Amino acid sequence: MPSEASLFGRPVHRIEDRTLVVGRGRYLDDLQPERCLAAAFVRSSHAHALFTKVDLNAALAMPGVVAALSSAELRERLASNSLATGLPSASFHLQADRPILADGEVAYVGEPIAVIIARSRSIAEDAVEAVAIDFKPLPAVVDCRQALEPGGPTVHSRLPHNRIADFGFAYGDASAAFAAAHYRVRGRYAVHRGGSHSMEGRGVLAIPNLLNGKLEVWSSTQTPQALKQMLCDLLTLGEDEIAVYTPDVGGGFGPKLVTYPEEIVVAASALLLRLPVKWVEDRREHFVSTTQERDQHWDVELALDAEARILGIRGQLLHDHGAYNVRGLNVPYGSGVSLPLAYNVPAYRLDVVVALTNKVPVTPIRGAGQPQAAFVMERLLDRAAAASGLGRDEIRLRNLVRADQMPCQKPLKLRGGTNVILDSGDYPTTQKKAMAQADWAGFPARQMTARRQGRRIGIGLANYVEGTGRGPYETATVRITRSGQIVVTTGASAMGQGTATMIAQIVGAQLGGDISKIAVRTGSAEGPLGFGGFNSRQTVTAGASAHASAVAVRAKLLKVASHLMEADEADLDIVGDNVVLRGVPELKRTFAELARAAAGLPGFGLPGIDSPGLEASEKVIINDMTYSNGSALAEVEVDEATGHIRVLRFTIAHDCGRMVNPVTVDGQLMGGIAHGLGNALFEQMIYDDMAQPMTTTFADYLLVSAAEMPPVDIQHQESPSPMNALGVKGVGESGVIPVAGAIMSAIDDALSDLDIHIDRAPISPQALAQLIKEARAKRDHSRECVAPRWSSVGAKGMQ
């Protein structure tokens, strides 16, 4: 048979793509059952307000409107009007679960209050405008720093304050480290809020199937299993009374991993009306109702010895949680735990405060806190390089975790209590590889040439470690059907990242090497236990289970063939969809023949196997995470007059363990880099002083397009992980993590004579132009102050 290596590491064509590129994909909005009704939501226009009455009568009277429902009308259908927090924590001080529909108070613009069900979406949207609500506006909290001020307004009138959680990280003796430090640098950094903006927004379709008595729910979710459990709990249905499926999903990036009020309301409405009901998010709704991320404020210090080796880090992180608790504390926790990972940090203390604000709730977006932490750590190292007189490259090489330290256990815990163990990698070599490819050594000459031409260019460097493959498992079932086809079913969710191709390659490596014979079914909550797609986990968890299942099916396949062909298993090979006798290729059995034989016949024994069928289902348990790493270099040009920043070139060297498909890895990295460029230079979810969103269209909220993408050079390095049989790690979020740090470092370098240090992300041209103006004024003032001394010395010398 073709060896496993013949499929691993090969850039095979993705099996998902043909259907999608010819327009035959089935996204949520493509599903249109007969008599399907459309839903539109009445949403709050206030960031914070009380209300006593929702008048639905005018909407109900409109032609084509079938139903109008508020929390009062849904109360009898739902076990609760509250969505439980996804990941509870003892660190929470306040209970701030989301209502399914607001009941008496709203806490952010866009919060759903009622739903209109109509014959068409346009009718439903018109009827939404007819709903009357008697709002009584309350003061809004827009800034998480303001949220903690004593005596200030509260995000919810029923709560005593806005400090929803406190926790921290501590190991070593940070105080002693700073007392002994030769160099100490401090930075205050702000990372701004943004959204996910996948090509496809959220959507849900609920169909009461009168033939089988089930409620069938289709959702563009990353986690169908969690959605099913929430629906069962809130609709008081048994697991056999509801089925949850995902169609093709046009991107997720994190926000689609949580359950939303719209999913519950649409399902409940379908049960009440006994008709299919569908809701598809429009782009404006995405801006004001889909969860967001990344409003954080950091105040941190770095202590180093005389040789610029890190002694310790200490500081505070203030995290904006939005109006409600949705997923839990995983975003600020991810920030805190990942800050020191890439480097040897003997002492660490970080105090984390999480505050409520009257803005869209916060959940993970591609990186789940890790991009913010990398930005802060890399900015501190640039500041430390300047203080110590070392190069930005050298200070990193002196402090990176080394290959001889692997596996490297950090004195930190994951949120589940397991240890943080960097499993494999050679971080200094990865950085050197990126530097060589980007011609770091030759850049000063290029920079000098550009400066003589009146151009300001700079180069920046950033390292990262990404925690991937969050467990504990994902189910994968492999079955060879009577027709000879290999069918793989998994709860892993596909969102455009090539999950089906990855699993087909892993399974195909054991079963003939022909992935055209393999059908992969992802994202089902029916049957396989699992958790879905997030945290770059699919290849690690679902891949490991698919591998184990395929190995088991291979063993059964050979046993059946050995029995039928009267040959020793060791003399058999698998070639394509046949089992052949080595050296006698005409003596063979097809997969179809072997599958039929394995199914058995009445009154006859099974052919050499103990259980019927060529099928296996595995749930490989992987409690510890795998850690990808990489180094990124950005080359930029800054227009000193306008503050405009152009990224000229981007280089990344990365290590995600053993690669299943290098082209898929490249695609994930490219997407992440684009996302990182947005975080660094473009994307800002701006709210005014009343917490009204100001950037609710792509005319105001800037997304990266092809025109802004620089040439990207990707370098691969493979350090197989010992945490799973395949040696794989995740890569879905790697590209985004180092981008802001590398770009800000490059901007500083381009403006090095002005002593500018970028302390925020994103940085807009206007903001940079203001920094340049202030730096020039400071420089000119310094020159004026010393000019008289220079004149005096000069005059005295002439005498």
Q: Which residues lie below 8 Å from residue 470, measured CB to CB, with a gap of 6+?
A: 534, 535, 537, 541, 625
Average pLDDT, stretch 756-762? 96
Which DSSP category does 30 fall into?
G
Point out the least confidently predicted range of 209-218, 344-353, 434-443: 209-218
Over 50: is that where the pLDDT of 462 sits?
yes
DSSP per-residue codes, 230-266: HHHHHHT--GGGEEEE--B----SSGGGS--HHHHHH
CB distance 317 to 352 below 8 Å: yes
Cis geometry, peptide bond prior to residue 88 (ω within 30 degrees of 0): no
Report pLDDT for 739.
97
Highest mean pLDDT among 3-17, 369-383, 527-541, 777-791: 369-383
**Cα separation values, 798 from 330, 549, 786, 791, 794, Å:** 69, 90, 19, 11, 6
Whether 179 shows a pLDDT value over 50: the answer reads yes
Give the model's pLDDT for residue 471.
84
CATH of domain 471-618: 3.30.365.10
388-436: pLDDT as tens digits: 999 999 999 999 999 999 999 999 998 888 899 999 999 999 999 999 9
Please list the residues that pair with 478 across neighbouring strands: 488, 616
From its phi and psi, is residue 556 left (phi > 0), alpha (psi between -120 and 50) or beta?
alpha
Burial of 168 (0-12, 13-18, 19+ CB in 10 A): middle
> Per-residue pLDDT for 519 more than 50?
yes
Place of tokens 């280089």: 651
Q: How does pLDDT run across 264-298, given as a tens digit for each residue?
A: 999 999 999 999 999 999 999 999 999 999 899 99
CB of 476 closer than 8 Å to CB of 545: yes
CATH for the 296-469+623-761 domain, from 3.40.800.20, 3.30.460.80, 3.30.365.10, 2.60.40.10: 3.30.365.10
Beta strands in 119-263 (DSSP E): 132-137, 163-171, 183-191, 203-209, 214-219, 242-245
Tokens of 53: 């009455």
Question: Which residues, 6 or more positions from 70, have their beta carbon under 8 angstroms from its beta carbon?
Answer: 54, 56, 101, 113, 114
pLDDT for residue 6: 72
pLDDT value of position 611: 93
Distances (CA, A) of 555 to 609, 614, 622, 676: 10, 9, 23, 45
Average pLDDT over residues 108-135: 98
What pLDDT does residue 799 have? 26
CB contact at 8 A, 342 and 422: no
- CA 754-760-766 angle, to 5 degrees, is 65
The answer to whether residue 319 scores a pLDDT higher than 90 is yes
The residue type at 489: T
* Best CA proximity match to 102, nearest among 58, 72, 123: 72
pLDDT of residue 531: 85
Within the chain, how many helices (H) and strands (E) appear? 20, 31
The arithmetic mean of pLDDT across residues 716-733, rounded, is 94
The average pLDDT across 61-72 equals 97
- Rounded average pLDDT over 729-745: 95
Q: Which H or E run contains 638? A: strand 626-638
Q: Is the confidence at residue 1, as pLDDT, over 50?
A: no
Q: CA 144 to CA 153: how far, in whole Å? A: 12
Q: Are the C-beta atoms of residues 301 and 313 closer than 8 Å to each other?
A: yes
pLDDT at residue 528, as a whole number: 67
Q: What is the pLDDT of residue 365?
A: 92
CA distance 197 to 282: 11
Higher pLDDT, residue 160 or 524: 160
- Under the banding of pLDDT at 50, 70 and 90, the label for residue 585 is confident
Sign of CA dihedral 366, 369, 374, 375: positive
pLDDT level of residue 786 (50, 70, 90 thresholds): low
Is pLDDT at 14 greater than 70 in this prediction? yes
How many CB atoms are located within 10 Å of the residue 132 CB? 12
Nearest to 716 by CA among 425, 338, 342: 425
Q: What is the pLDDT of residue 527?
A: 65
| pLDDT the model gives residue 318 | 98
3-state secondary structure at position 50: strand
Nearest-CA neighbor of 346 among 485, 171, 142, 195? 171
> What is the rounded average pLDDT of the residues 203-214?
94
Q: What is the pLDDT of residue 749?
A: 98
Q: Is the pLDDT of residue 790 over 50?
A: no
Q: Supply the pLDDT for residue 795.
A: 30
Q: Where in the chain is the domain with CATH 3.90.1170.50?
A: 33-138+202-280
Residue 792, pLDDT score = 30
Distance, in Å, from the CA atom of 36 to the CA atom of 42, rounded to the nearest integer, reads 20
The chain-wide mean pLDDT, for the chain, equals 93
CA 607 to chain CA centroid, Å, is: 47
Lowest mean pLDDT: which of 278-287, 355-364, 524-533?
Answer: 524-533
Residues of the chain with CATH 3.30.365.10: 296-469+623-761, 471-618
Instruction: Provide mean pLDDT across the span 614-620.
Output: 93
Give Cβ neighbours of residue 30 (< 8 Å, ≥ 6 apart). 247
**pLDDT for 743:** 98
Place of tokens 């509870």: 88
Asked if pLDDT for residue 524 goes beyond 80, the answer is no
Strands 310-320 and 348-355: parallel
**pLDDT in the model for residue 451:** 96
Classify domain 33-138+202-280 at the CATH superfamily level: Aldehyde oxidase/xanthine dehydrogenase, a/b hammerhead (3.90.1170.50)
Distances, alpha carbon 376 to alpha carbons 187, 317, 441, 619, 744, in Å: 8, 11, 25, 37, 11
